[in-house]
Amino acid sequence: MILALWQYIKKNPVHYVIAGVLAIISSLLYLIPNYIIQLFVDGIVENNLIKEDMIRYFMIFGITMIFIYLTEATWVILTFGQSMKYQTELRTKMFRHLLTFRAPFFERFRSGDLMTRMTTDIDMMGTAIGYGFMLVVADGSLLIGVFLIMVTTISWQATLLSIIPLVIFGFIIYHLGMELDKRYENSRDEVAKLSNEVLEVVDGVRVMRAYGKKQLEQKRFQEKTHKVMGKANELVWINGAFRQVARLFSGLSIAIGLLYGGYLVGKTQMTIGELVTFQIYLGFLNGTIWGMAELVGIYQQGKVSYRKINELETADDLVDKQGILPIDQIEAIQFDQYHFTYPEDKQAVLKDINFTLKRGETLGIVGKTGSGKSTLIKQLLRQYPNGQKGQLLMNNVAISQYDMNALEKLIGYVPQEHILFSKSVKHNIEFGNADATEETFAQSIRTADFEKDVLRMSEGLDTLIGEKGVAISGGQKQRVSMARAMIREPELLILDDSLSAVDAKTEQAIIGNIQQIRHNKTTIIVTHRLSAVAHADNILVIEDGTVVEAGTPDQLINNKGWYYQQYQKQQTMEVNHENI
């Protein structure tokens, strides 16, 4: 952690040099008022204080305090300004880093944990480089300055005796700091777990109501909250021990200084003014020791936070590193005897996948739930590592050789779970291509058969859809996602069971629109409703990760296999539905 913070300080030397110099100057300036107090008290005791001396002391005292204020205000602004800048840069860096990860990473790190690392832990690192820097430089320089003044100008014997309790305190806070490390990590881990729980409760609140589980979930949530409180109280206990131990030993230090100082005054080896000033110096000294105690706490907590952040920086999503080849057009996609097994599994999910999809063709993928259809799509999106056997080629080149950013720009993907933002309909559609023309924007809405819905919305395209699209229906969510993909005018359009929430008539309208505007581009449609792929050039039937049937719709019907059976069932259901 120290090295990481030092690297940032070296990147901004001017700010930190100025802040450090001003911090040292302001700390040393505090010695001047104390010396003025010493002269003032001795003048009163010795009865030789004159008006001119008082005016001079007052002027020096006042000017010094003004300089202290100006120097402290300047270096504090510089230091904490850099602290906020550090947090901003670190948070931006980590967010950019998160965007590079694929599915295996998010299976290991839950959302609540990531939120805690991106907020609390980064805030703690900012505290370490801001408040921690202040304690090291300001309190450190004041500690050294006060100690040297006490030893050289007042009494080295009284100084050494007075700091004995403070040395003992230093050993104690070291061991308390080690315990603080463990307690803080336990506390922040429980907070991360609670954040995960909150996210699940928010997402599942309607399900809880439907199943009458509100009381049960409330009880579970309360138990987790009490657990967080318990861990937080353990941390409070340690922090409280820091303060009480500091108060005890600082009190002992002042008592020893006062007693021995009084003894020296009685022996005429110390003046009253020096005794008063000595006590003020001891107060400063104790203040810096308190600062050092806080510094230990900040260091231990910062170390935990740095460890958590560093885990994200060094994390590996297990996906092969992307290539560097450019790509601006998809001519052909080929799976050649392709096998794939998920990183944590032993059994292959895809086996001997073998087909070629050429530019301008439409491929339908059908099969039972859990047969491997979406897994196949995730291979094209490079959400998981390359298969363990066979090849996945694009334009006769391994897909891993291409620059992923360039490849992603050619793909429009409409997933099963529609991720929408709690903004307007227009914002969600434009997210697919912020530079799209008005004509392209309008075309994407028409293709998704969403025009009538927009007209019925209270604010039209400016209607806010709520968090995760809660304010619109399931079918509208799917069509907003569809329009978002279409506005990209992608080389490859992938529909992963993304028409399940719309009626058959709307589905046919969307499919017809896609056929009309994408006659020279490639489309993959994963579906359970066979009517969605009735126009496809080729259809794959997948079962247990293997292609068990392949061909045109007519060929599959003539084969009398799984596709034919499902076709018959769905035709019968549609006829019955029409009769009703």
**Residue 559 clears pLDDT 60, i.e. is over it:** yes
Examine residue 236 and state whether it is found in any structural domain, yes or no. yes
Band (196; pLDDT cuts 50, 70, 90): low
**Cα 258 to the chain's mean position, in Å?**
52
**Residue 9 clears pLDDT 60, i.e. is over it:** yes
Closest CA to 76 of 118, 149, 30, 20: 20
What is the average per-residue pLDDT within 546-559?
91
Examine residue 328 and state whether it is found in any structural domain, yes or no. no
Instruction: Provide the residue type at 185 as one letter.
Output: E
Higher pLDDT, 503 or 427: 427
The residue out of 276, 297, 313 marking a domain boundary is 313
Higher pLDDT, 413 or 208: 413
Higher pLDDT, 100 or 70: 70
Q: Percentage of the chain with pLDDT > 70?
A: 89
Distance CA 68, CA 41 (A): 23
pLDDT of res. 208: 60
Band (142; pLDDT cuts 50, 70, 90): confident
What is the average per-residue pLDDT within 209-230?
68
**Residue 239 clears pLDDT 70, i.e. is over it:** no
**Cα 460 to the chain's mean position, in Å?**
34
What is the average per-residue pLDDT within 19-30?
86
380 contact partners, CB below 8 Å, separation of at least 6: 333, 392, 399, 411, 492, 494, 524
Same domain, 119 and 232: yes
Band (243; pLDDT cuts 50, 70, 90): low
pLDDT of res. 108: 78
SS3 of 501-552: the string is: CCCHHHHHHHHHHHHHHCCCCEEEEECCCHHHHCCCCEEEEEECCEEEEEEC
What is the average per-residue pLDDT within 45-73?
86
pLDDT of res. 334: 93
Examine residue 294 and state whether it is found in any structural domain, yes or no. yes
Same domain, 429 and 282: no
Closest CA to 193 of 237, 223, 235: 223
Q: Percentage of the chain with pLDDT > 90?
A: 13
pLDDT in tens, 98-141: 887 777 777 777 777 788 888 888 888 888 888 888 888 888 88
Band (548; pLDDT cuts 50, 70, 90): very high
pLDDT of res. 540: 93
Domain that holds residue 458: 417-489
pLDDT of res. 344: 74
Band (203; pLDDT cuts 50, 70, 90): low
**Residue 578 clears pLDDT 80, i.e. is over it:** no
Using only C-alpha atoms, what is the Rg of the chain? 35
Same domain, 262 and 134: yes
Distance CA 580, CA 578 (A): 5
pLDDT of res. 358: 93
Higher pLDDT, 283 or 560: 560
pLDDT of res. 525: 92
Domain count, the chain: 2
* 310-324, 392-406, 448-462: least confident range: 310-324
CATH number, domain containing residue 433: 3.40.50.300
Examine residue 210 and state whether it is found in any structural domain, yes or no. yes
Q: What is the residue-averaged pLDDT of the chain? A: 82
pLDDT in tens, 476-534: 888 888 999 999 889 999 998 887 777 878 888 888 888 888 888 899 999 888 888 88
Examine residue 410 and state whether it is found in any structural domain, yes or no. no
**Residue 576 clears pLDDT 70, i.e. is over it:** no
CATH number, domain containing residue 12: 1.20.1560.10
The residue out of 438, 473, 489 marking a domain boundary is 489
277 contact partners, CB below 8 Å, separation of at least 6: 34, 35, 37, 38, 41, 154
What is the average per-residue pLDDT within 439-463?
88
Is residue 534 within 8 Å of residue 508, measured between CB atoms?
A: no
Same domain, 171 and 286: yes
With b meaning 16 or more CB within 10 Å and e meaning fewer, what string describes 21-44? ebbbebbbbbbbbbbbbbbbbbbe
Examine residue 516 and state whether it is found in any structural domain, yes or no. no
The residue out of 278, 313, 348 marking a domain boundary is 313
Same domain, 59 and 193: yes
pLDDT in tens, 322-349: 678 999 889 999 999 999 988 777 788 8
Burial class (CB in 10 A: 0-12, 13-18, 19+), 449: buried
What is the average per-residue pLDDT within 231-237?
70
Same domain, 145 and 270: yes
Examine residue 343 and state whether it is found in any structural domain, yes or no. no
Higher pLDDT, 210 or 92: 92
pLDDT of res. 369: 85
pLDDT of res. 393: 92
Helix (H, G, I), strand (E, B) or coil at 492: strand
- 223-232, 463-472, 485-494 — most confident range: 485-494
Examine residue 32 and state whether it is found in any structural domain, yes or no. yes
Same domain, 177 and 63: yes
Instruction: Provide the residue type at 553 as one letter.
Output: P
